[in-house]
Amino acid sequence: MVTPYYLGMGINLQSFDSPSGPAVEFFKQQGWVLIDTLNVEQTKQLQNWVDEVAAWPLEGGEWIHHREMTEAGPQLARTENFTPFHDGLRTLLRTGAMLDVASALLGEEAVLYKEKVNYKLTGGAGFAPHQDAPAYRFIDSHISCMVAVDDSTVENGCLDVVSARYDEILPMDDRGCITAEVVESMTWIPAPIKAGQTLWFHSRTPHRSGPNTSSKNRRALYPTYNALREGDLRDAYYAQKHQEWQEARDRGEKPGLSLIGDFQGVLIDE
Ligand SMILES: O=C(O)CCC(=O)C(=O)O
């Protein structure tokens, strides 16, 4: 049985001082843990930073914006590769407490592998049940998290996770998502979290999310970290992604949002 404490309140970042402390132990058991990362002021600043990133032009930068078609018209779905171009977000995700927690949960020194904002604005689509690990080609030891920019609720499409099922890569369908039979056999826990909290999850922890059917946006950062022992591979990751997208375009295909087909919305071809 999962201790609800960890979903309701989170562990205060200040008390996260030991690689063998309760957060790490809980993470080892469940494959996820909730940490209170940002205070109210820092959360407001994060919201401003994400507004700034969302206002960057669609073309002309090395960041990558993706848009989806919703009932309200075209909306931003995701921005990737933004830390080189935003000082505040680079400092938040590549140094300090976030990196320390990633290292403690990985059990060794971590480095940022990639980063994205998922906007999930009103009407934005959800994500099919999947594990992240199959999309990470170059690394074996990695961890992801969701830093909530806005409160994330059942209505606006929070994550659902499965506890204590991160031991193996589960059977996948042709999109790289978990097969329907396996999805039905598992217990999914809704994980609503507050703006400023971070839900850390193992890269094999099954997760999914519904669409945003509310009138409130549900923006979140998703940094992924890998063990530095395997190398600082962030540039290689984006180079490979650009190459695969170009190859898809050259074949006359539409590039997807991810390297697996988990996104359930309709992408607008740029
Ligand atoms: O933002 C969400 O609702 C889920 C995102 C997700 O699972 C992913 O981007 O892999």
Domain ranges of the chain: 5-267
Is residue 55 within 8 A of residue 119, CB to CB? The reply is: no
49 CA distance to ligand 1 middle (Å): 20
**Residue 262, ligand 1, Cβ within 6 A:** yes
58, two tokens = 């669609």
> Residue 178 is which amino acid?
I
What mean pLDDT is predicted for residues 250-254?
Answer: 82
**Pairwise pLDDT comparison (247 vs 227), residue with the higher score:** 227
Q: pLDDT by residue (tens digit) across 36-57? A: 889 899 999 999 999 999 999 9
What is the model's pLDDT at position 12? 54
What is the model's pLDDT at position 24? 87
* Residue nearest atom 1 in ligand 1 by C-alpha distance: 118
What mean pLDDT is predicted for residues 247-262?
Answer: 81
pLDDT of 74 higher than 50 = yes
Q: pLDDT by residue (tens digit) across 170-198? A: 999 999 999 999 999 999 999 999 999 99
Is residue 112 within 8 A of residue 234, CB to CB? The reply is: yes
pLDDT of 236 higher than 70 = yes
- Taking alpha carbons only, the member of 83, 46, 77 closest to residue 62 is 83
**CATH superfamily label, 5-267:** q2cbj1_9rhob like domain (2.60.120.620)
Is residue 161 within 8 A of residue 6, CB to CB? The reply is: no
**Residue 209, ligand 1, Cβ within 6 A:** yes
Neighbours of 264 (CB within 10 A): 18
Give residue 140's pLDDT band: very low, low, confident or very high (50, 70, 90): confident
H or E stretch at 202 = strand 197-202
- Taking alpha carbons only, the member of 169, 146, 132 closest to residue 222 is 146
160, two tokens = 């659902």
> Residue 143 is which amino acid?
I
Answer yes or no: pTM beyond 0.85: yes
145 CA distance to ligand 1 middle (Å): 10
* Residue nearest atom 10 in ligand 1 by C-alpha distance: 132
Atom number, ligand 1, closest to the C-alpha of residue 135: 10
φ, ψ (nearest 5 deg) of residue 140: -105, -30
